[in-house]
Amino acid sequence: MKLEEGVLKKDRRALARLITLVENDSDEAQEALRVLHSHTGKAHIIGITGPPGGGKSTLVDKLAKELRKRNKTVGIVAVDPTSPFTGGALLGDRIRMSELSTDSDVFIRSMGTRGALGGVARATSDVVKLLDAFGKDTIFIETVGTGQAEVDIVKIAHTTIIVTMPGLGDDIQTIKAGIMEIGDIFVVNKADRQDADKKVMEIQAMLELGQKKNSWEPPVLKTTARDGVGIPELLDLAENHYRWLLESGNLKKMSIEKSRAELFSIIEQNVEKVVVDRVDEGEIDKLCQQIANKEIDPYKAADEVLAKTGIKLKK
């Protein structure tokens, strides 16, 4: 049986195997993703990001349990730059150790970012597609940090939850710089600590300063993930956001935008492959030296390279 057929039949081992192939950017994975494409698009994808230690993994763990209570199946992808690519212990062994890891309706996968062939955002996106095709109702993507890589990863999500916590004076600065505008829901976790309300007010003030993109007003919610406080409310908010996306037509728009990005990324990769295939490496080296020596400009050099591949640019 082909792996993609296994995935459609909800065989967890086929799923795990295919995920590994996706991570290794293998041709077999590409073939499977083609077949599975028409089976994707049903899952609610939730991205969770924020500074390390804020409680993201704990939140995901509790949210997943809440979803199981509501009879929904769950996929979890944790992306952690500190982990080796083959997936070490991640997502805190917190989740691995919890009852979730023995629940067959929850599939957990951790991925490192180093060495992800074809880029981690793309690998994550493909893994999410596999989980979607497998039939998971809700898929979480947990990423650490607030840089561009995280923003790219989070773009895969329908609903983005930004997690922060009281104290940590300047994490909000980092958030402001990078990801404030992509948050659909803001969570101040560790509300058992002092100054949670202060943090909520800070975020609200920043949201008021920001530009309004549409009719969704990002709520700010306090949680104490450790004790499960605020979890059902957070899940309700995430589900409201998904409903809003559906009803406002934004889900469709997002899906078309993602498709465009995906199409162009594939075209780019293919063009690069064609160039590598058809143009002698030595010639490319020579052109690079000429560009560096200012003997030729890079646009002209690119024209020359493309001309050798047979790709013609209209001028």
Where on the chain is the footprint of ligand GDP (CB under 6 A)? 52-58, 92, 94, 189-190, 192-193, 224-226
The residue among 11 and 192 lying less far from ligand GDP, judged by its C-beta, is 192
Query: Is the CB of 6 or the CB of 55 nearer to ligand GDP?
Result: 55
Nearer to Mg ion, 56 or 199 (CB): 56
- Work out what residue 189 binds among Mg ion, ligand GDP, none; the CB cut-off runs from 5 to 8 Å by kind: ligand GDP
Least distance from Mg ion to the Cβ atom of residue 56, Å: 5
Binding of Mg ion at residue 57 (CB under 5 A)?
A: yes
Nearer to Mg ion by Cβ, of 73 and 110: the residue is: 110
Binding mask of the shown chain, residues 170 to 189, with x at each position contacting Mg ion by CB under 5 A: --------------------
Contacted entry of ligand GDP, Mg ion, none for residue 245, CB cut-off 5 to 8 Å set by kind = none
CB of 82 to Mg ion, least distance (A): 10
8 Å CB contact between 49 and 179? yes
Nearest to 136 by CA among 57, 87, 35, 67: 67
Give the side-chain half-sphere CA count within 13 A for 145: 13
State how far the Cα of 267 lies from the Cα of 256, in Å rounded to an integer.
16
Distances in whole angstroms, Cα of residue 211 to Cα of each of 71, 214, 215, 254, 311: 37, 9, 11, 19, 42
Alpha-carbon distance 222 to 174, whole Å? 20
Q: What CA–CA distance (Å, rounded) separates 315 from 311?
A: 13
Q: Which span sits near Mg ion by CB under 5 A: 12-20, 49-57, 119-127, 162-170?
A: 49-57
CB closer to ligand GDP out of 63 and 245: 63
Instruction: Give least dist CB 283 to Mg ion, A.
Output: 47
Contacted entry of Mg ion, ligand GDP, none for residue 298, CB cut-off 5 to 8 Å set by kind:
none
Residue 159 binding Mg ion, by CB under 5 A: no
The one segment of 56-64, 105-113, 147-155, 305-313 that binds Mg ion by CB under 5 A = 56-64
Q: Provide the edge-to-edge strand list for the sheet that holds 220-222.
A: 106-112, 74-80, 138-144, 44-50, 159-164, 185-188, 220-222
Select the binding partner of residue 190 from Mg ion, ligand GDP, none (C-beta < 5 to 8 A, by kind).
ligand GDP
Shortest spacing between CB 93 and ligand GDP, in angstroms? 9
Minimum CB separation of residue 28 from Mg ion in Å reads 31
Contact between residue 94 and residue 107 where contact means Cβ atoms under 8 Å apart: no
Both tokens assigned to 23: 């991570």
Tell me how far apart the alpha carbons of residues 163 and 175 are, in angstroms, rounded to a whole number. 10
CB atoms within 10 A of CB 31: 14
Tokens for 315, please give them: 């001028």
CA 240 to chain centre: 20
Q: Which CB, 50 or 75, lies closer to ligand GDP?
A: 50
Smallest separation, CB 64 to ligand GDP (Å) = 13
Evaluate whether 127 touches 19 at the Cβ level (below 8 Å). Answer: yes
Partner that binds at residue 212, options Mg ion, ligand GDP, none, CB closer than 5 to 8 Å by kind: none
Between 17 and 94, whose beta carbon lies closer to ligand GDP? 94
Q: Measuring CA to CA, which residue among 138, 141, 223, 222 is closest to residue 182?
A: 141
Q: Report the chain's C-alpha Rg in angstroms.
A: 22
Query: Amino acid letter at 27?
Result: D
Q: Give SS3 for 164.
A: strand
User: Which C-beta is closer to ligand GDP: that of 146 or that of 224?
Assistant: 224
Positions touching Mg ion (CB under 5 A) are: 56-57
